[in-house]
Amino acid sequence: MMNIGTSFKPYESLKELHKMVKTAQEKVMVQTNTPFSSLTNHIRNNNYHWGSLSELNETLKHFSYVDGFTPTQADVSLVQMLNVGSSLSPYPHLLRWYCHMASYSQAERDTFPEASNNGPLTPTSKPKEREALSMVDRWMLSQLAYAVKECNIAFEEFNFPRATTALYNLWWYQICDVYLECLKPVMYSENEEAKELSCNVLYTAVYVGLALISPFMPYLSEELFQRLPSRTANQPPSICVTPYPEPEEYEMFLDKDVDEKFRFGQKVISEVRSAKAKYDIPHKTKIELTLQSENHENRATLESLIQDITTLSAASNVRVSTEKPKGSVPTLINAETVAWMKLQ
Protein backbone atom coordinates (compact mmCIF):
# COMPACT_ATOMS: atom_id res chain seq x y z
CA MET A 1 0.00 0.00 0.00
CA MET A 2 1.28 3.47 -0.84
CA ASN A 3 2.44 5.47 2.19
CA ILE A 4 0.76 8.88 2.02
CA GLY A 5 2.18 10.10 5.32
CA THR A 6 0.75 10.88 8.73
CA SER A 7 -0.01 14.47 7.80
CA PHE A 8 -2.57 13.45 5.16
CA LYS A 9 -6.08 14.58 6.12
CA PRO A 10 -8.76 13.22 3.75
CA TYR A 11 -11.46 15.66 4.80
CA GLU A 12 -9.32 18.74 4.33
CA SER A 13 -8.00 17.39 1.02
CA LEU A 14 -11.54 16.90 -0.27
CA LYS A 15 -12.44 20.41 0.82
CA GLU A 16 -9.45 21.75 -1.07
CA LEU A 17 -10.40 19.71 -4.13
CA HIS A 18 -13.97 21.02 -4.05
CA LYS A 19 -12.64 24.55 -3.65
CA MET A 20 -10.37 24.11 -6.67
CA VAL A 21 -13.23 22.77 -8.80
CA LYS A 22 -15.53 25.59 -7.73
CA THR A 23 -12.86 28.19 -8.49
CA ALA A 24 -12.30 26.69 -11.93
CA GLN A 25 -16.02 26.66 -12.66
CA GLU A 26 -16.48 30.25 -11.60
CA LYS A 27 -13.88 31.27 -14.14
CA VAL A 28 -16.21 30.10 -16.90
CA MET A 29 -17.86 33.27 -18.14
CA VAL A 30 -20.29 34.34 -20.80
CA GLN A 31 -19.86 37.42 -22.97
CA THR A 32 -22.18 40.23 -21.85
CA ASN A 33 -21.76 42.70 -24.69
CA THR A 34 -23.50 40.35 -27.12
CA PRO A 35 -27.31 40.14 -26.73
CA PHE A 36 -28.32 36.57 -25.97
CA SER A 37 -30.91 36.63 -28.74
CA SER A 38 -28.10 37.07 -31.26
CA LEU A 39 -26.53 33.84 -30.01
CA THR A 40 -29.69 31.91 -30.76
CA ASN A 41 -30.19 33.70 -34.06
CA HIS A 42 -26.69 32.67 -35.01
CA ILE A 43 -27.51 28.98 -34.59
CA ARG A 44 -29.25 27.29 -37.49
CA ASN A 45 -31.24 30.25 -38.78
CA ASN A 46 -33.10 30.89 -35.52
CA ASN A 47 -34.60 27.40 -35.24
CA TYR A 48 -33.96 27.56 -31.51
CA HIS A 49 -35.96 30.06 -29.49
CA TRP A 50 -34.22 30.54 -26.16
CA GLY A 51 -35.10 33.96 -24.87
CA SER A 52 -32.68 33.89 -21.94
CA LEU A 53 -29.86 31.99 -20.33
CA SER A 54 -32.43 30.53 -17.95
CA GLU A 55 -34.34 28.97 -20.85
CA LEU A 56 -31.16 27.50 -22.30
CA ASN A 57 -30.23 26.22 -18.84
CA GLU A 58 -33.66 24.56 -18.59
CA THR A 59 -33.15 22.86 -21.97
CA LEU A 60 -29.76 21.53 -20.87
CA LYS A 61 -31.36 20.25 -17.68
CA HIS A 62 -33.02 17.54 -19.77
CA PHE A 63 -30.55 17.16 -22.64
CA SER A 64 -26.81 16.59 -22.83
CA TYR A 65 -26.42 18.98 -25.76
CA VAL A 66 -28.43 21.78 -27.32
CA ASP A 67 -29.70 19.48 -30.08
CA GLY A 68 -30.42 16.45 -27.92
CA PHE A 69 -28.07 13.72 -26.77
CA THR A 70 -25.39 14.01 -29.46
CA PRO A 71 -22.94 16.91 -29.90
CA THR A 72 -23.47 18.84 -33.14
CA GLN A 73 -22.23 21.98 -34.84
CA ALA A 74 -24.96 23.84 -32.95
CA ASP A 75 -22.97 23.24 -29.75
CA VAL A 76 -19.77 24.36 -31.45
CA SER A 77 -21.39 27.55 -32.74
CA LEU A 78 -22.75 28.45 -29.33
CA VAL A 79 -19.66 27.65 -27.30
CA GLN A 80 -17.50 29.77 -29.62
CA MET A 81 -19.61 32.81 -28.76
CA LEU A 82 -19.25 32.37 -25.01
CA ASN A 83 -16.30 34.36 -23.61
CA VAL A 84 -15.29 36.24 -20.47
CA GLY A 85 -18.07 38.31 -18.93
CA SER A 86 -20.63 37.40 -16.29
CA SER A 87 -20.47 34.18 -14.28
CA LEU A 88 -22.40 31.05 -15.31
CA SER A 89 -22.66 29.87 -11.70
CA PRO A 90 -26.43 30.58 -11.51
CA TYR A 91 -26.92 28.23 -14.48
CA PRO A 92 -25.54 24.83 -13.39
CA HIS A 93 -26.72 22.88 -16.43
CA LEU A 94 -25.34 25.46 -18.85
CA LEU A 95 -22.10 25.46 -16.86
CA ARG A 96 -21.90 21.67 -17.03
CA TRP A 97 -22.45 21.78 -20.78
CA TYR A 98 -19.86 24.52 -21.28
CA CYS A 99 -17.17 22.72 -19.27
CA HIS A 100 -17.89 19.52 -21.17
CA MET A 101 -17.71 21.24 -24.56
CA ALA A 102 -14.46 22.94 -23.56
CA SER A 103 -12.90 19.50 -23.12
CA TYR A 104 -13.22 18.76 -26.86
CA SER A 105 -10.32 19.65 -29.13
CA GLN A 106 -10.95 21.59 -32.32
CA ALA A 107 -10.24 18.47 -34.34
CA GLU A 108 -12.93 16.61 -32.41
CA ARG A 109 -15.40 19.46 -32.84
CA ASP A 110 -14.86 19.43 -36.58
CA THR A 111 -16.19 15.86 -36.70
CA PHE A 112 -19.54 16.77 -35.12
CA PRO A 113 -22.49 16.47 -37.53
CA GLU A 114 -24.72 19.34 -38.51
CA ALA A 115 -27.64 20.02 -36.22
CA SER A 116 -31.12 18.73 -37.02
CA ASN A 117 -33.89 21.08 -38.05
CA ASN A 118 -36.04 21.08 -34.96
CA GLY A 119 -33.83 20.76 -31.91
CA PRO A 120 -34.23 17.98 -29.35
CA LEU A 121 -37.06 15.57 -30.07
CA THR A 122 -39.12 15.71 -26.89
CA PRO A 123 -42.20 13.79 -25.80
CA THR A 124 -45.28 15.98 -25.81
CA SER A 125 -48.15 13.93 -24.46
CA LYS A 126 -49.37 10.40 -23.95
CA PRO A 127 -50.49 9.02 -27.36
CA LYS A 128 -54.24 9.43 -27.80
CA GLU A 129 -55.11 9.54 -31.50
CA ARG A 130 -54.54 5.91 -32.42
CA GLU A 131 -55.75 6.48 -35.98
CA ALA A 132 -52.66 8.59 -36.67
CA LEU A 133 -50.29 5.90 -35.40
CA SER A 134 -48.68 3.24 -37.54
CA MET A 135 -49.50 -0.42 -37.07
CA VAL A 136 -46.29 -1.09 -35.13
CA ASP A 137 -46.90 1.93 -32.86
CA ARG A 138 -50.39 0.68 -32.01
CA TRP A 139 -49.03 -2.83 -31.48
CA MET A 140 -46.38 -1.51 -29.07
CA LEU A 141 -48.98 0.34 -27.01
CA SER A 142 -51.22 -2.72 -26.95
CA GLN A 143 -48.37 -4.91 -25.72
CA LEU A 144 -47.53 -2.30 -23.10
CA ALA A 145 -51.12 -2.28 -21.85
CA TYR A 146 -51.05 -6.08 -21.69
CA ALA A 147 -47.83 -6.00 -19.64
CA VAL A 148 -49.38 -3.50 -17.20
CA LYS A 149 -52.37 -5.79 -16.79
CA GLU A 150 -50.21 -8.89 -16.30
CA CYS A 151 -47.97 -7.26 -13.69
CA ASN A 152 -50.90 -6.02 -11.64
CA ILE A 153 -52.56 -9.44 -11.71
CA ALA A 154 -49.24 -11.02 -10.70
CA PHE A 155 -48.93 -8.73 -7.68
CA GLU A 156 -52.48 -9.53 -6.60
CA GLU A 157 -51.75 -13.26 -6.89
CA PHE A 158 -48.25 -13.00 -5.37
CA ASN A 159 -47.10 -14.65 -8.58
CA PHE A 160 -43.47 -13.61 -9.06
CA PRO A 161 -42.80 -15.64 -12.26
CA ARG A 162 -45.86 -14.20 -13.99
CA ALA A 163 -44.66 -10.63 -13.43
CA THR A 164 -41.05 -11.27 -14.43
CA THR A 165 -42.13 -13.18 -17.55
CA ALA A 166 -44.35 -10.29 -18.63
CA LEU A 167 -41.53 -7.81 -18.05
CA TYR A 168 -38.97 -9.96 -19.84
CA ASN A 169 -41.27 -10.28 -22.85
CA LEU A 170 -41.99 -6.55 -22.86
CA TRP A 171 -38.40 -5.37 -22.70
CA TRP A 172 -36.61 -8.06 -24.67
CA TYR A 173 -39.03 -9.43 -27.25
CA GLN A 174 -41.22 -6.38 -27.82
CA ILE A 175 -39.35 -3.13 -27.15
CA CYS A 176 -35.80 -4.21 -28.03
CA ASP A 177 -36.21 -7.08 -30.47
CA VAL A 178 -39.07 -5.61 -32.51
CA TYR A 179 -40.08 -2.03 -31.81
CA LEU A 180 -36.65 -0.40 -31.74
CA GLU A 181 -35.69 -2.18 -34.94
CA CYS A 182 -38.89 -1.04 -36.65
CA LEU A 183 -38.22 2.56 -35.59
CA LYS A 184 -34.87 2.81 -37.35
CA PRO A 185 -36.30 3.57 -40.83
CA VAL A 186 -38.72 6.06 -39.24
CA MET A 187 -35.99 7.96 -37.42
CA TYR A 188 -33.77 8.03 -40.51
CA SER A 189 -36.61 9.35 -42.66
CA GLU A 190 -37.59 12.97 -43.23
CA ASN A 191 -41.15 12.44 -42.00
CA GLU A 192 -41.11 14.69 -38.92
CA GLU A 193 -44.71 13.90 -37.99
CA ALA A 194 -44.03 10.16 -37.95
CA LYS A 195 -40.89 10.76 -35.90
CA GLU A 196 -42.79 12.74 -33.29
CA LEU A 197 -45.56 10.16 -33.03
CA SER A 198 -43.11 7.27 -32.68
CA CYS A 199 -41.00 9.26 -30.23
CA ASN A 200 -44.02 9.67 -27.98
CA VAL A 201 -44.90 5.99 -28.20
CA LEU A 202 -41.32 4.98 -27.43
CA TYR A 203 -41.17 7.40 -24.51
CA THR A 204 -44.41 5.98 -23.12
CA ALA A 205 -43.15 2.41 -23.52
CA VAL A 206 -39.84 3.16 -21.77
CA TYR A 207 -41.40 5.30 -19.02
CA VAL A 208 -44.10 2.75 -18.18
CA GLY A 209 -41.70 -0.16 -18.65
CA LEU A 210 -39.29 1.34 -16.12
CA ALA A 211 -42.12 1.95 -13.67
CA LEU A 212 -43.23 -1.68 -14.05
CA ILE A 213 -39.77 -3.10 -13.52
CA SER A 214 -38.72 -0.77 -10.68
CA PRO A 215 -39.81 -3.11 -7.83
CA PHE A 216 -37.54 -5.80 -9.26
CA MET A 217 -34.60 -3.65 -10.44
CA PRO A 218 -34.78 -0.44 -8.37
CA TYR A 219 -31.27 0.91 -8.93
CA LEU A 220 -31.06 0.31 -12.67
CA SER A 221 -34.58 1.60 -13.28
CA GLU A 222 -33.84 4.75 -11.24
CA GLU A 223 -30.65 5.42 -13.18
CA LEU A 224 -32.45 5.12 -16.51
CA PHE A 225 -35.45 7.07 -15.26
CA GLN A 226 -33.23 10.02 -14.38
CA ARG A 227 -32.00 10.12 -17.98
CA LEU A 228 -35.50 10.50 -19.41
CA PRO A 229 -36.58 14.01 -20.40
CA SER A 230 -39.58 15.29 -18.46
CA ARG A 231 -42.89 15.16 -20.26
CA THR A 232 -44.61 17.52 -17.83
CA ALA A 233 -43.45 20.08 -15.27
CA ASN A 234 -44.95 18.10 -12.37
CA GLN A 235 -43.47 14.75 -13.36
CA PRO A 236 -42.24 12.80 -10.28
CA PRO A 237 -38.55 13.49 -9.53
CA SER A 238 -37.79 9.83 -8.86
CA ILE A 239 -39.13 6.48 -9.95
CA CYS A 240 -39.41 5.65 -6.24
CA VAL A 241 -42.36 8.05 -5.96
CA THR A 242 -43.81 7.38 -9.41
CA PRO A 243 -47.26 5.75 -9.19
CA TYR A 244 -47.24 2.15 -10.33
CA PRO A 245 -49.07 1.82 -13.69
CA GLU A 246 -52.67 0.71 -13.33
CA PRO A 247 -54.52 -1.33 -16.00
CA GLU A 248 -57.31 1.26 -16.19
CA GLU A 249 -54.84 3.91 -17.36
CA TYR A 250 -53.74 1.91 -20.39
CA GLU A 251 -56.66 -0.34 -21.28
CA MET A 252 -57.56 2.11 -24.05
CA PHE A 253 -54.49 0.85 -25.93
CA LEU A 254 -55.46 -2.83 -25.85
CA ASP A 255 -56.21 -3.82 -29.43
CA LYS A 256 -56.76 -7.50 -30.19
CA ASP A 257 -57.22 -6.81 -33.90
CA VAL A 258 -53.83 -5.10 -34.17
CA ASP A 259 -52.22 -7.83 -32.07
CA GLU A 260 -53.57 -10.51 -34.40
CA LYS A 261 -52.49 -8.68 -37.56
CA PHE A 262 -49.01 -8.00 -36.22
CA ARG A 263 -48.71 -11.62 -35.09
CA PHE A 264 -49.39 -12.59 -38.71
CA GLY A 265 -46.62 -10.24 -39.83
CA GLN A 266 -44.26 -11.75 -37.26
CA LYS A 267 -45.03 -15.23 -38.61
CA VAL A 268 -44.05 -14.04 -42.09
CA ILE A 269 -40.79 -12.64 -40.72
CA SER A 270 -40.05 -15.81 -38.76
CA GLU A 271 -40.67 -18.08 -41.76
CA VAL A 272 -38.53 -15.91 -44.04
CA ARG A 273 -35.67 -15.93 -41.53
CA SER A 274 -35.93 -19.72 -41.23
CA ALA A 275 -35.90 -20.08 -45.01
CA LYS A 276 -32.79 -17.90 -45.29
CA ALA A 277 -31.07 -20.12 -42.74
CA LYS A 278 -32.20 -23.21 -44.67
CA TYR A 279 -30.56 -21.89 -47.84
CA ASP A 280 -27.42 -20.75 -45.95
CA ILE A 281 -28.17 -17.10 -46.59
CA PRO A 282 -26.72 -14.82 -43.87
CA HIS A 283 -29.46 -12.98 -42.01
CA LYS A 284 -28.20 -9.53 -43.02
CA THR A 285 -28.03 -10.42 -46.71
CA LYS A 286 -30.69 -8.43 -48.55
CA ILE A 287 -33.19 -10.41 -50.62
CA GLU A 288 -36.16 -9.58 -52.81
CA LEU A 289 -39.36 -10.83 -51.23
CA THR A 290 -42.80 -11.26 -52.75
CA LEU A 291 -45.76 -12.05 -50.52
CA GLN A 292 -48.49 -13.81 -52.48
CA SER A 293 -51.99 -14.18 -51.07
CA GLU A 294 -55.44 -14.70 -52.51
CA ASN A 295 -57.02 -13.38 -49.31
CA HIS A 296 -57.85 -9.67 -49.51
CA GLU A 297 -57.58 -9.12 -45.74
CA ASN A 298 -54.20 -10.82 -45.63
CA ARG A 299 -52.93 -8.63 -48.45
CA ALA A 300 -54.20 -5.48 -46.71
CA THR A 301 -52.44 -6.51 -43.49
CA LEU A 302 -49.21 -7.25 -45.32
CA GLU A 303 -49.39 -3.92 -47.15
CA SER A 304 -49.66 -2.09 -43.83
CA LEU A 305 -46.63 -3.98 -42.50
CA ILE A 306 -44.34 -3.76 -45.54
CA GLN A 307 -41.81 -1.44 -43.89
CA ASP A 308 -41.64 -3.56 -40.73
CA ILE A 309 -41.34 -6.83 -42.68
CA THR A 310 -38.62 -5.28 -44.84
CA THR A 311 -36.67 -4.20 -41.75
CA LEU A 312 -37.02 -7.33 -39.64
CA SER A 313 -36.50 -9.84 -42.47
CA ALA A 314 -33.55 -7.88 -43.90
CA ALA A 315 -35.11 -7.62 -47.34
CA SER A 316 -34.07 -5.21 -50.06
CA ASN A 317 -37.58 -5.02 -51.42
CA VAL A 318 -40.96 -6.42 -50.38
CA ARG A 319 -44.08 -6.40 -52.50
CA VAL A 320 -47.53 -7.90 -52.04
CA SER A 321 -49.11 -9.64 -55.01
CA THR A 322 -51.71 -12.17 -56.08
CA GLU A 323 -49.35 -13.65 -58.67
CA LYS A 324 -46.45 -16.04 -58.37
CA PRO A 325 -43.13 -14.35 -59.24
CA LYS A 326 -40.55 -15.97 -61.50
CA GLY A 327 -37.15 -17.16 -60.34
CA SER A 328 -38.08 -17.39 -56.66
CA VAL A 329 -38.39 -20.16 -54.09
CA PRO A 330 -41.55 -20.52 -51.99
CA THR A 331 -42.00 -20.55 -48.23
CA LEU A 332 -45.45 -21.42 -46.95
CA ILE A 333 -46.82 -18.97 -44.37
CA ASN A 334 -50.35 -20.36 -44.10
CA ALA A 335 -52.94 -21.97 -46.36
CA GLU A 336 -53.56 -18.67 -48.18
CA THR A 337 -50.17 -16.95 -48.09
CA VAL A 338 -46.78 -17.80 -49.59
CA ALA A 339 -43.51 -15.88 -49.31
CA TRP A 340 -41.35 -16.03 -52.44
CA MET A 341 -37.63 -15.30 -52.09
CA LYS A 342 -35.43 -14.41 -55.00
CA LEU A 343 -32.10 -16.04 -54.25
CA GLN A 344 -30.04 -14.43 -57.00
* Residue range 322-339, pLDDT digits in tens: 888 888 999 999 999 999
| Cα–Cα distance measured from residue 230 to residue 233, given in angstroms and rounded to the nearest whole number | 7
DSSP state of 238: S
The tens digit of pLDDT for each residue in 149-181 reads 999 999 999 999 999 999 999 999 999 999 999
Give per-residue pLDDT as tens, 286-321.
999 999 998 999 999 999 999 999 999 999 999 999
This prediction's pTM: 0.66
21-110 topology per CATH: Glutathione S-transferase Yfyf (Class Pi); Chain A, domain 2 (1.20.1050)
Intervals of CATH 1.10.730.10 along the chain: 130-253
User: pLDDT digits over 75-89, tens only?
Assistant: 888 887 765 445 677
Is residue 114 within 8 A of residue 77, CB to CB? The reply is no
Residues 6+ apart with CB under 8 A from 266: 178
Residue 182 banded pLDDT, cuts 50, 70, 90: very high
Listed in order, the ranges of the chain carrying CATH 1.20.1050 are 21-110
Architecture in CATH of 130-253: Orthogonal Bundle (1.10)
Instruction: Decide: 343 and 275 in contact? Cβ < 8 Å.
Output: no
Sequence ranges of the chain with CATH classification 3.30.2320: 259-342
Split at pLDDT 50, 70, 90, the class of 132 is: confident
Look at phi and psi of residue 44 and say left if phi exceeds 0, alpha if psi is from -120 to 50, else beta. left
- Give the CATH number of domain 259-342: 3.30.2320
